[in-house]
Amino acid sequence: MNSRKIKVLLLEDNEEDEKEIKIVLEKNNYEINSATTLKEALRLFNSSSFDIAIIDIFINNQPEGGIFASTINTSLNYIPFLFLTSSIDKRIFDEIKLTQPYNYLIKPFNEYELLYAIELTIEKFTSEKSSSQSEKSSYYNQTFFIKQGGTITKVPYDNINYIKVEGMYCKIVTIHGNFIIQSSLGKICEDLSESHFIQTHRNYLINSKKIKSIFPEDNLILLNNDEKILLSKRYKSDLLRKIKIYK
């Protein structure tokens, strides 16, 4: 499995719809796990981690999609979800709305409508996480979700070597490549204050797990990939205080 792909849990019992959804999403770099019954959807949900769920309301002619959504809502492993259904019954809509889905799409779906709905769901959910004071990080599930063109890429914290200021933007340097995001380093530092990221310079935020060596006298840090990072006097004492040094 590619941990960089957005993982989607799909509950859909119509074989043609399931196939079409999988084709669209896999073509756009999503990783799909599908279930055709409520039991199978619950098994997948409880046995693995997902970033979003797409749920058909009626499974085997029963509103089991609503039951699945309610289960997600009460789980410690809550993920955002949206409904993709052929039902246009206002009563059903009013009932299912109580589960607070992030979107509600009517079949037959349009490819771009589905992609945009997923993108908006992820952006809205991560934004809500950012504004929650109870969360340790503004980025959902120890992960950055970064939009590049028409694709959202999932970048787990552990894949990041460091983050560097580049003009009005920040560059996230990872073991798989680099990403440019529209955010200040100060904002990222606030969001990652409870993590293992440490600021070493006004332009650098590093993953402390990637440190190979520290050269305090030379104001340098050597990462595991042998890349050198600046260590300014302003942040040196803070770095040495946060890491455990044995003598």
Q: In this structure, what are the phi and psi dihedrals at residue 42, rounded to the nearest 5 degrees?
A: -65, -40
pLDDT per residue as tens digits for the range 156-196? 888 999 999 988 888 999 988 888 888 888 888 877 766 78
Check residue 74 and report its DSSP letter.
T
Fold of 149-242: OB fold (Dihydrolipoamide Acetyltransferase, E2P) (2.40.50)
CA trace torsion 78, 57, 84, 92 (10° rounding): -110
Tally of CA atoms within 13 A in the half-sphere of 70 that contains its CB: 11
Q: If we measure between CA atoms, which residue out of 202, 237, 241, 247 comes closest to residue 216?
A: 237
Fold of 6-131: Rossmann fold (3.40.50)
Closest by CA to 188, choosing from 210, 173, 175, is 173
Instruction: Kindly report, residue by residue over 31-45, the tens digit of the pLDDT.
Output: 999 999 999 999 999
CATH 2.40.50.1020 residue spans of the chain: 149-242
Radius of gyration, CA atoms only, the chain:
21
Look at the pTM and tell me if it is higher than 0.85: no
Chain region(s) in the chain for CATH 3.40.50.2300: 6-131
